[in-house]
């Protein structure tokens, strides 16, 4: 039985990876999950210098999901390279680094530093985090800005680049096509949807940042639709995510056209979610006599 | 090693208005220490995130743990309906716990406010064990101050098994009228160090007190959590110095905490 998938020339053992920001640097979940069993570990967003992030409360639970406004706190690319990357290499994980920045120059800085480290298989460029006012918001929501950042990052990156799309746009296909035309090697979607929660008892915003990104099962149908739309519009591989909690969810995304999937908020609900989903996909293929996972990808029937 | 497991409810009973006392049979008890917490997963699939609840007591045979919690929303409401024998999904052991070594040979004051009182039970128990095993001169003198709203003084007798307990009540019905700070003054308590768990305004005042008295104070903090294991960076507190892990001025309450020396954190 073949579970391997190919993303921009990089072979993943299986299509299940972690979603950026929900799995720390991998180390935090290593008591629960064997990192080398995953298709890939996608790291928390890494910037050129340490970022402090937002004030608390940073997270709030909502029906079937959660809001977060972490503000991309991270120790910066130097610490990532010195501490987190060697850990992941030792754990024999396939590493995808999520990259964030305030300016195109910030992104290039990180991408160039990571270019010296072939242990990093792929780069995922976060142009869609809705949390930081001066952050990625403009890149991910405007096709021209997305085109220019994709071109610049592609010109400086040694590894293939995955552009991570924001769902907070009128037409996500247009964004996928713009990134593809500008040289993206793959796409991932969706990032969180901008949301808000007000506590009626205290009459205050639940998050200090007022708005936050919605994730979890509540967003899954939107994500499936967007993955389907983009996967059928572009030729490059698409990595699907948004509310994936069970193996059934993962298979739904593969059928919609995703080459691989990422598991985010579900890690908080079940720390072994990623491994459980891999086992579930394996069993489903066995039960249905499917010998190659590629036979599932995009295979929704009309 | 942290893990998620299916544990079993041994017993559950209300001990006060909206406050429940539950014993849980779990292998995690072997690793449990005072000041640490578990995350309890609600079964209701609409509320996803595990609820952090402190260890109130560890059984002598290390086969079960006790938690005492207040019903304050849907998750804790669900927990309050659990019957003996029911399975319960928990993750543990989480957090750093109290530093007990620093207490040797000291006059220690434990301070608990409201639903911050439960973790003091296990803390007293462990301090008493250390003290009984200590060399002469290294034994620990424990006193406890508890702050309640009214005469409903839950867990007071549990704590009286280990130390002299002083009480403050907001309505003045028992002990010193006012807050735990008022009780410390009223009973003229002069500790060498403090451990405190309770609401943030109380911890603010304890910080002032500890600085005035120039004594160490360890406080347990709360913040809304998602992962509980240090991965999401949801639960941070501002720190005075850059944190060794995050490289910025904040620390994760679920991992580097929940207990901090009060001078390390900006509260
Ligand atoms: C380290 C730690 C230890 C704790 N120990 C205890 C204990 O021993 N006994 C006890 O009664 N309570 C304790 N709490 C508070 C307890 O976690 C909350 O009361 C509980 O999560 C509320 O859940 P709910 O579904 O009933 O309420 P809801 O308000 O419906 O919860 C909604 C969301 O907000 C979160 N939340 C709400 N209040 C708090 C809070 N005060 N702190 C953190 N998250 C919160 C919930 O976890 C959930 O994600 C502790 C909190 C922390 C951080
Ligand atoms: C707490 C949290 C932090 C996140 N941090 C990042 C991040 O640093 N970079 C990024 O590209 N996406 C980040 N995301 C978005 C997720 O990677 C993912 O796209 C989104 O949550 C949808 O998937 P899910 O519903 O499975 O969580 C974060 C999400 C959460 C919940
Ligand atoms: S709750 Fe995720 S880092 Fe503490």
Cα–Cα distance, A190 to A219 (Å, whole number): 9
Q: How confident is the model at residue B154 (pLDDT cuts 50, 70, 90)?
A: very high
Q: How much of chain A is helix, strand and coil, in % rounded to 5?
A: 35, 20, 40
Secondary structure (DSSP) of A204-219: EESSTTSEEEEESGGG
pLDDT cut 70: percent of chain B above it: 99
The first and second tokens of residue B142, run together, are 């424990």
Please tell me if residue A87 touches chain B, with a CB cutoff of 8 Å.
no
Q: What's the mean pLDDT in B219-233? A: 97
Q: Which residues of chain A are within 8 Å of residue B229 when distances are taken between CB atoms?
A: 24, 28-29, 31, 271
Of B225, B232, B246, the CB nearest to A21: B232
pLDDT score recorded for residue A130:
44
Cα–Cα distance, B227 to B207 (Å, whole number): 28
CA of B86, closest CA in chain A: separation in Å?
19
Residue B229 dihedral angles phi and psi, to the nearest 5°: -125, 15
pLDDT score recorded for residue A168:
93
Spacing, Cα A70 to ligand 2 middle (Å): 10
Domains of chain B and any CATH numbers: 3-94 (2.40.30.10), 101-192 (3.40.50.80)
Cα–Cα distance, B94 to B1 (Å, whole number): 10
Q: What's the mean pLDDT in A116-134? A: 79
Question: How much is the pTM?
Answer: 0.96
The first and second tokens of residue A110, run together, are 């990180």
A138: pLDDT strictly greater than 70: no
Using alpha carbons, list the distances in angstroms from residue B198 to A57, A80, A253.
18, 36, 45
**What average pLDDT does chain B have?**
95
A135 lines ligand 2 (CB under 6 A): no
Q: Which of these, A6, A2, A35, lies nearest to A260 by C-alpha position?
A: A6
Using alpha carbons, list the distances in angstroms from residue A299 to A251, A252, B216.
10, 10, 64
At CA B120, angle to CA B257 and CA B151, rounded to 5?
130
End-to-end CA distance of chain B: 30
B199 lines ligand 1 (CB under 6 A): no
Nearest CA in chain A to B229: A28
Q: What's the mean pLDDT in A147-166? A: 96
End-to-end CA distance of chain A: 26
Cα–Cα distance, A127 to A102 (Å, whole number): 10
Cα–Cα distance, A98 to A155 (Å, whole number): 17
Cβ of A50 within 8 Å of Cβ of B248? The answer is: yes
A137: pLDDT strictly greater than 60: no
Cα–Cα distance, A106 to A182 (Å, whole number): 19
Ligand 1 atom nearest the C-alpha of B69 is 11
Cβ of A56 within 8 Å of Cβ of B4? The answer is: no
Cα–Cα distance, B69 to B13 (Å, whole number): 11
Nearest CA in chain B to A76: B247
B136: pLDDT strictly greater than 90: no
Please tell me if residue B245 touches chain A, with a CB cutoff of 8 Å.
yes
Ligand 2 atom nearest the C-alpha of A124 is 11
Cα–Cα distance, A147 to A135 (Å, whole number): 16
Count how many pairs of residues, chain A against chain B, have C-beta atoms within 8 Å: 109
Q: How confident is the model at residue A18 (pLDDT cuts 50, 70, 90)?
A: very high
Q: Which residues lie across from B147 on neighbouring strands?
A: B113, B168
How far does Cα B15 stand from its chain's mean position? 17
Cα–Cα distance, A264 to A19 (Å, whole number): 5
For the stretch A255-282, pLDDT in tens is 999 999 999 999 999 999 999 999 999 9
pLDDT score recorded for residue A37:
97
Cα–Cα distance, A31 to B121 (Å, whole number): 29
Which range among A127-136, B41-50, B215-224 shows the weakest confidence by mean pLDDT? A127-136
Spacing, Cα A31 to ligand 1 middle (Å): 24
- Burial of residue A274 (CB within 10 Å: 0-12, 13-18, 19+) is buried
Q: Which residues lie across from A74 on neighbouring strands?
A: A51
CB B141 within 8 A of CB B108: yes
Return the DSSP state at A101.
-
Q: Which residues of chain B are within 8 Å of residue A24 when distances are taken between CB atoms?
A: 227, 229-232
Helices (H) and strands (E) in chain A, counts: 10, 16
Return the DSSP state at A43.
P
Q: How confident is the model at residue B132 (pLDDT cuts 50, 70, 90)?
A: confident
For tokens 């160090």, the residue is: B193
Using alpha carbons, list the distances in angstroms from residue B260 to A263, A285, B105.
32, 49, 21
**What average pLDDT does chain A have?**
95
Domains of chain A and any CATH numbers: 5-52+71-193+213-295 (3.20.20.70)
Cβ of A268 within 8 Å of Cβ of B50? The answer is: yes
Of B4, B48, B233, the CB nearest to A272: B4
Question: What is the ipTM score, two decimals?
Answer: 0.94
Q: Which residues of chain A are within 8 Å of residue B235 when distances are taken between CB atoms?
A: 56, 58-59
Residues near A103 by beta carbon (within 8 Å), at least 6 away in sequence: none
For tokens 């799995």, the residue is: A23
Residues of A carrying an active site annotation: 129
| CB atoms near residue A10 (< 10 Å) | 17
Q: What's the mean pLDDT in B217-235? A: 98
Ligand 3 atom nearest the C-alpha of B232 is 2
At CA A257, angle to CA A255 and CA A259, rounded to 5?
105
Q: Which of these, B129, B21, B130, B135, lies nearest to B67 by C-alpha position?
A: B21
Please tell me if residue B248 touches chain A, with a CB cutoff of 8 Å.
yes
């Amino acid at each position: 039985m073949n579970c391997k998938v190919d993303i921009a020339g990089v072979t993943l053992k299986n299509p299940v990876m972690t979603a950026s920001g929900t799995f720390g640097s991998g180390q935090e979940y290593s008591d629960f999950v064997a990192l080398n069993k995953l298709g890939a570990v996608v790291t928390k967003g890494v910037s050129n210098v340490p970022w402090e992030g937002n004030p608390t409360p940073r997270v709030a639970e909502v029906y079937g999901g959660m809001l977060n406004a972490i503000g991309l706190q991270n120790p910066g690319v130097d610490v990532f390279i010195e501490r987190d990357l060697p850990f992941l290499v030792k754990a024999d994980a396939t590493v995808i680094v999520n990259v964030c920045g305030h300016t195109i120059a910030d992104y290039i800085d990180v991408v160039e530093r990571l270019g010296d480290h072939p242990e990093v298989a792929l780069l995922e460029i976060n142009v869609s985090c809705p949390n930081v006012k001066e952050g990625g918001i403009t890149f991910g929501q405007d096709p021209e800005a997305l085109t220019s950042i994709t071109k610049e990052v592609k010109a400086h990156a040694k590894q293939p680049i995955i552009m991570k799309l924001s769902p907070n746009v009128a037409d996500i296909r247009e964004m996928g096509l713009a990134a593809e035309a500008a040289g993206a090697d793959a796409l991932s979607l969706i990032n969180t949807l901008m949301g808000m929660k007000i506590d009626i008892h205290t009459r205050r915003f639940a998050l200090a940042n007022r708005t936050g990104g919605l994730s979890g099962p509540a967003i899954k149908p939107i994500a499936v639709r967007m993955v389907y739309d983009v996967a059928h519009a572009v030729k490059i591989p698409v990595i699907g995510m948004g509310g994936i909690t069970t193996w059934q969810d993962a298979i739904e995304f593969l059928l919609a056209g995703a080459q691989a999937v990422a598991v985010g908020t579900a890690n908080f609900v079940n720390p072994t979610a990623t491994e459980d989903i891999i086992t579930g996909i394996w069993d489903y293929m066995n039960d249905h006599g499917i010998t190659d996972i590629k036979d599932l990808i995009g295979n929704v029937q009309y | 090693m942290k893990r998620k497991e299916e544990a079993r409810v041994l017993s559950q009973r209300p001990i006060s208005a909206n406050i429940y006392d539950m014993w849980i049979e779990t292998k995690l008890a072997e690793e449990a220490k005072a000041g640490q917490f578990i995350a309890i997963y609600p079964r209701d699939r609409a509320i996803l995130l595990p609820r952090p609840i402190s260890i109130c007591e560890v059984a002598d045979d290390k086969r079960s743990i006790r938690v005492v919690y207040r019903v304050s929303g849907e998750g804790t409401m669900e927990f309050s309906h659990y019957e003996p024998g029911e399975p319960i999904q928990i993750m543990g052991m989480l957090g750093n716990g109290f530093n007990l070594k620093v207490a040797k040979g000291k006059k220690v004051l434990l301070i608990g406010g409201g639903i911050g009182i439960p973790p003091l039970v296990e803390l007293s128990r462990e301090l008493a064990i250390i003290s009984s095993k200590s060399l002469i001169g290294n034994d620990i003198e424990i006193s406890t101050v508890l702050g309640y709203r009214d005469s409903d003084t839950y867990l007071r007798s549990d704590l009286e098994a280990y130390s002299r307990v002083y009480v403050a009540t907001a309505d003045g019905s028992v002990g010193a009228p006012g807050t735990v700070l008022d009780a410390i003054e009223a009973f003229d308590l002069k500790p060498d160090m403090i451990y405190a768990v309770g609401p943030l305004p109380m911890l603010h005042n304890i910080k002032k007190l500890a600085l005035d008295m120039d004594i160490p104070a360890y406080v347990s903090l709360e913040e809304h959590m998602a992962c509980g294991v240090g991965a999401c960076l949801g639960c941070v507190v501002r720190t005075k110095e850059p944190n060794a892990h995050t490289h910025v001025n904040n620390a994760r309450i679920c991992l580097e905490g929940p207990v901090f020396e009060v001078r390390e954190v900006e509260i």
